[in-house]
Structure 1
Amino acid sequence: LSPRLGVLNNIPFVIPFDVRVEIFRQFIRNDAARSDIDRFDPNQRGVRIRRGHVAEDGFRGLHRLGPQLKRRIQIQFIDQFGQVEAGIDGGGLFKEFLTSLVREAFDTNRGLWSATSDQAIYPNPHSYAQQAEQLEWYTFLGRVLGKAIYDGILVDIKFASFFLSKWLGKQSYLDDLASLDSLDPELAKGLNFVLRAYTGDFEDLALNFTVTDEEFGVSTTTELVPGGAQIPVTRENRLEYVYRVSHYRLSDQIEKQSAAFFSGLSEMVDPRWLRMMNREELRVLVSGTEAPIDVDDLRANTVYGGYHEQDLTIQYFWDALKSFDPQMRKAFLKFVTSCPSPPLLGFAHLSPKFAIRNSGTDEARLPTASTCVNLLKLPAYSTPEQVAAKLRYVCTIEVGFDLS
């Protein structure tokens, strides 16, 4: 561990966050140079991904690569008719694939992830998720998330704070207690009552050092400590009981899933680099900042195709974007880049740069986007009202990917 990294790991708060992000990116650039990941491999075949089967095809084509996922991966999309879509992957198609994969595979409806009351995700605690096949998926998704971080691709995921703490190896008793409320408000309320408010005889509570889970209609009881079924909760041991229950719900139940995820993540990103951040900064590293979108910064880092910045349609576009409220601006950014949050260090660091291309004079057409290259295809509308209305519409309905 170098002295600089030692300082960054142990007292990172003495260095501004944006400086630490730049140091983090430099670590990755150094690693990429050592690994020669940009070297062209003439034998590399494109990974074929069917639209509508992104997660399954991604797992089948990329899981076997292990740490080699750091390298440049060529993607070929297959349309609904089984035909290879036109387009050469210079990196943009892989970004589209990665963001689509994340959207599919981290969806709580797939069974690998659960959500807290504020819709932050963490590994599904059910025993189903601890099966070998599912653990392979967690390892793969750890690599996928690591690949996104490695390549600087922001993804639209919100991880639970207690799960982010595990990335840093710094979860504590206080973290458990503070996090339980978002995971299970009723359980947190009950434990808080036992810990702080109950004044009666603890025998009346009939509690012992066990927890009960129900899966698929079957109840199972787990001892929190050896012989826990025979250990009643008393006034003297209530603090330990509260800790054991919290730790079970937040750590023990997801231990295997988390370990598999972190093994994949660590193959892509050195855990020591992540420890330069606290958990909220990690969230920003993964998903971008919650700061308002700076339209002037975006404008200063925009390129045009078939338009000039002085054109009326472009003037109408920027006026419309400035008139949008913060949520609509985020919706627009998600429409054109696939992520609603701006880059960590500003739009100068968006790669490739945001671009606006003239898509013709048919004013009945809607704007479209190629999120893989951060491109807005904007017809030459003749009035400011048209521009604002069309943009609001496509941002609201979330029109999908367009390759044309």
Structure 2
Amino acid sequence: MNSKGESDEASRGSEASSSNSDTAPSNKENSPGLCTGAGSTTADRMKRAAAKQLIERYFYQLLDGCGNPNCDNRYCASSGEARNLTPNEAAAEAIKLFYKEARLCDSLPNKVPRTEASTCDSSASATCTETNTKDKASKKDKRTESPSSSTSPSQENKAEETNAETSQNVSQHDDYRSLRHNNGAPLTEERMYQLCDECLSSKNLKPLMRALGEAFTQPAILARCFQGKIPDESSNCDKKKKCEKESEAMCSSSDPDKDVDSISGPGLDVSSCRRALQYLSKVPSEYYSSALVTALTTLAEHLEIDLRITKKISMDDAVNCFVIAFEVPDLGCSDYLEIALPALCHAAEHLPLKGQAKLARVWAYECKDSLRHILETLQQLITLRVISTNYTRDFQVQDDESVTMATKLMKIVYYANMLAGVMEPNSLREEPIVIANQFDPLGDALDHLYPLSSLKNTKHAQPDDPLAIELNINVLDARKPYLPFEEFYNEPLSDAIEMETDFTNYKTELSNGKKFAFLKYPFILTAATKSLGLYYENRIRMYSERRVSLLHAVVGAAPSMPFLRLKVRRSHIIDDALVELEMVAMQRALDLKKQLVVEFEGEQGVDEGGVSKEFFQLIVEEIFNPDYGMFTYQPDSHTMWFNPTSFETEAQFTLIGIVLGLAIYNNVILAVNFPMVVYRKLMGKKGSFEDLADWNPDLYNGLKDMLQYNEDDLQEAYYQTFRIGYRDVFGNNIFHDLKQNGDSIFVTQDNKKEFAELYADFLLNSSVATQFAAFRRGFVMVTDESQLGALFRPEEVETLVCGSKNFDFNELEKSTEYDGGFTAESQTIKDFWSIVHSLSLEDKRKLLQFTTGSDRVPVGGLSNLKLVIARNGPDCDRLPTAHTCFNVLLLPEYDTKEKLEDRLMKAISYSKGFGML
């Protein structure tokens, strides 16, 4: 492993020394894990760090050697061929050897001289020879990629800067051996306290820096740092003998790395590690931040090599290294975010699946207090890269490895965050709804000629994430995550993504996994960005169904029906809509996935989106009217719920589910007020006790008080049995036994939790099982092939259905465009916004209804509405008009503000119906 590591590291150093900042993007693949691509400043820092590390290695090799008395490297003090040099002479010679790309014996000669065996033999020489051969071969390959091997001015500048930094410590190199704390032995909490106190009191930085360098550069050492104390088990003779044997081996051996590797410690003590590293933050960060950044970068490179190539490091050791590395306090320097952190993220990608799962569990159960720090650090890295990089068509954000690797690591944090919070049993699942594939012989035959039509019967459902399966976790079970899910959103990234590209990569990744797509990591994207991806998918589906219909018509198999066309009467909108949808569902359910076109009988409105919006609004107003009897109103939560005693058939609830699915499918926002439990149930999670909080707050608080009542007289205080009562829509009392003979079973301290769970299960699941199953079936008939469940959490689905609740008309004003001669400085426009901002919320809703066809705020807020105000002639007595399909408000240029307000209020108050526009 050492020889391979040397070869890779020397290759990277050679490349860094022979490349310049202008070639950084092209060298991205040759420096995995580092911050490459756009931005010459980052590349220069990486090259400078690599050059500095190599020069230090040459420096200590010339002075101290590799520790192998049989070494035949004439540039190594251990070989006997190298002349004795003063520290200053060694520094100058080290720079010359760096230019010559001279041979290096050991992977870290500047830290700990070591050998590959406890006794020096010919194998050490063979190792050096093999390493030298690999170094030369690797350097030859690099020179082939970068033909210019001569020393460039920029290289000289970097070497001079590095020499200046190295010279600060050269004059006191005589104390070098006294500064090797524990000879590379693992750090402990007590040792960290001692080093920090010594640094603060004497201002001597070397002991602390040397100890951190020794620990944080080698995975084998770092994995054994901050180990828990071995318990005293005198009764276990085998363990006692094992400990004695290991202790004896440690004392008799002269190889620190081998000693560390040979001891299987009791495990990482995360609390001890956190205390020690928090104590480190008392030392000014400028004392050690640069050295620690270099050490962490080296650590990441070694971890990547060990995990990806040599497979030498164990999974547990690798996990320990990542846990310790992310416990490091804020270093307060840009190099950490630009160099070390991307390298760590790149190395973490090579953790095996079980290692990722273990890291998630350690972070969840032992590092809760660090989760926010880890998340914020990754968010800073992503945001910094996004706002500082000028992405182009040839280099998009999906190609930026610093961003993509940080996103992959954030997925582990995302699952750890759920595990660290309140999780519910994964057994509370709704029965799956299976929609049988409708056989379409003609469509199947046409697939051979027109492959695009094959989309209609293909399930593009995203497979379950392997890490989620390994952790046995589902976002639906996360009742309350440790950190709010919203903290995982990265808005700069969401704004920077070209959704057309990401959606294409997403579909490609589902099939072969070669493209990176942020839609595969939906937790980092805002609901507005994901809704755009869902919109593209639905539009592709509509286009596919339209082509199939046209092909059917060409061969004479069926009349051309490219759209789902509904013709309804305003006076009988429920009857007409439900009858037509029922016929479509019975004859060919796939027609529900065509683009919806609505026509109101007797009106000349051409549906380009606005007519459909009004159709959905009118049908929702009637369906959810309590007088209709299908839903009941919950006065405490101001929400609608299924009527368990409804006289309507299951088919009508199915058709209402179809309406809800069609609204999402056609990108229409509805004015429905369901409690959150409805969306959780639609996604497949049954209602539970905690869902009562927003379904019926009074009932929830009453049950909560009972559960928290700890006195022995609970039975007398509440006098509650397992028989409950409720009223139907007609006011009749209905009783139900939660258990057999429930009227004779009183609630006590022993069974009160069972009572609360059964009560909630009856109200939210059992009592409305028939109605909800039919409703969900209709919803699934439209959305079964959609990525809705894969991309959106229940809370986001509610936003998708109902829109945002933030009526910020200042955002609308900023995003509005003007046409026909109006500008933002026109007096009529200034008067218009002055009037709008003074309106009540109800009147603002009417204005939205008038201009867009819906009184709901779109996902992402009013800034996404894209309203256009166009001048519609000079001053006149006409009312303002609107094209709701295109969100265009036609506004005459009224002379006075009073006249504008009068005409505008009349227009928005009487806006039902469509005329000739």
Residues 20-76 of structure 1, C-alpha deviations (whole Å, 9 max, x = no match): 323333332343344347956765495432122212211122222123222234433
Work out the CA distance in 2 between the residues paired with 1:332 and 1:38.
40
- 1:61 pairs, out of 580, 583, 593, with 580
Ranked by relative contact order (alpha carbons within 8 Å, sequence separation 6 or more), the top structure is 1
Letter in 2 for 1:213: Y
Pair member with larger Rg: 2
- Residue 281 of structure 1 is matched in structure 2 by 796
- What is the CA distance between 1:146 and its match in structure 2? 0.9
Match of 2:43 in 1: none
Which residue of 600, 607, 610 maps to 1:77? 600
Q: Matches of 1:7 and 1:273 in 2, distance apart?
A: 20
Q: Distance in 2 between matches of 1:301 and 1:4?
A: 41
CA distance in structure 2 between the partners assigned to 1:252 and 1:344 by the alignment: 33
Tell me which protein shows more strand as a share of its residues: 1
Q: Which residue of 2 aligns with 1:401?
A: 913
Partner of 1:49: 568
Q: SS of 2:772's equivalent?
A: helix
Q: In structure 2, what is the equivalent of residue 202 of structure 1?
A: 715
Task: Give the AA of the match of 1:2.
Answer: Q
Cross-structure match for 1:13: 523
Q: Which region of structure 1 is more displaced relative to structure 2, 139-148 or 9-18? A: 9-18
After superposing the two structures, state which structure 1 stretch, 160-169 or 312-321, moved more.
312-321
Which structure has the highest helix share of the two? Answer: 2
Asked if the contact 1:119–1:158 (Cα under 8 Å) also holds between the matched residues in 2, the reply is yes
For the structure 1 residues 313 and 39, does the alpha-carbon distance in structure 2 shift closer, same or farther, using more than 3 Å as the test?
Answer: farther
Mean Cα displacement is larger for which, 383-392 or 47-56?
A: 383-392
Q: Deviations over 1:313-349 (max 9, x none)?
A: 3453344335556664444213322333332246686
Q: Could you tell me how far 1:388 is from its partner in structure 2?
A: 3.0
Aligned to 2:901: 388
Please say if residues 813 and 833 of structure 2, whose CA atoms lie closer than 8 Å, have aligned partners that are also in contact: no
| Corresponding residue for residue 223 of structure 1 | 737
Match of 1:28 in 2: 538
For 1:15 and 1:375, locate their aligned partners in 2 and report how far apart those are by CA, in whole Å. 29
| Cα distance between partner residues in 2 of 1:46 and 1:23 | 25
- 1:289-328 alignment, distance < 5 Å: 289-295=804-810, 297=812, 300-302=815-817, 304=819, 308-309=822-823, 312-322=827-837, 324=839, 328=843
Q: CA deviation at 1:202?
A: 0.9
Percent of pairs identical after alignment?
A: 26
Letter aligned with residue 154 of structure 1: I
> Structure 2: how far apart are the matches of 1:362 and 1:38?
50
Matched to 2:904, the amino acid is L
Computed over aligned residues only, the root mean square deviation of the Cα atoms, in angstroms, reads: 3.5
1:384 to partner: Cα distance: 2.0
Mark the CA change 1:354 to 1:4 in structure 2 (over 3 Å): closer, same or farther: farther
SS at match of 1:336: helix
Question: Could you tell me how far 1:230 is from its partner in structure 2?
Answer: 3.6
Change (3 A) 1:256 1:356: farther
Per-residue Cα deviation, 1:276-295 (whole angstroms, up to 9, x for no partner): 32332222101211223355
Instruction: Report Cα offsets for 1:151-209 as digits up to 9, x if no partner.
Output: 11112222212222212223453433423533xx2x33443343223732515744322
Of 754, 772, 776 in structure 2, the residue corresponding to residue 262 of structure 1 is 776
SS of 1:53 mapped into structure 2: helix
- Structure 1 residue matching 2:604: 3-state secondary structure: coil
Q: Tell me, what secondary structure is at the counterpart of 1:31? A: helix
Other-structure match for 1:213: 726
Structure 1 unaligned runs (5+)? 79-83
In the TM superposition, residue 255 of structure 1 has moved relative to its aligned partner by 1.7
- The offset of 1:227, in angstroms, is 3.5
CA distance in structure 2 between the partners assigned to 1:38 and 1:358 by the alignment: 42
Once the two structures are TM-superposed, the CA of residue 144 in structure 1 deviates from its matched residue by 1.0
Mapped partners of 1:70, 1:359: distance in 2: 41
Question: Do the aligned residues in 2 keep the contact of 1:358 with 1:378 (CA within 8 Å)?
Answer: yes
Within 5 A, what are the aligned runs for 1:373-384?
373-384=886-897
Contact map agreement 1:359 1:377 (CA 8 A) in 2: no
Secondary structure of residue in 1 paired with 2:806: coil
Q: Is the 8 A contact 1:150 1:269 kept in 2?
A: yes
Q: Which amino acid aligns with 1:282?
A: V
- 1:112 is aligned to 630
- The 3 A distance-change label for structure 1 pair 37 and 336 is farther
Q: Measured at CA, do residues 248 and 3 of structure 1 come closer, stay the same or move farther in structure 2, by a change above 3 Å? A: closer
Contact 1:202–1:233, Cα closer than 8 Å, also in 2: yes
Residue number in structure 2 paired with 1:124: 643
Give the letter for the 2:776 counterpart: F
Q: Is the 8 A contact 1:143 1:264 kept in 2?
A: yes
Q: Distance in 2 between matches of 1:325 and 1:220?
A: 42
2:182 matched residue in structure 1: none
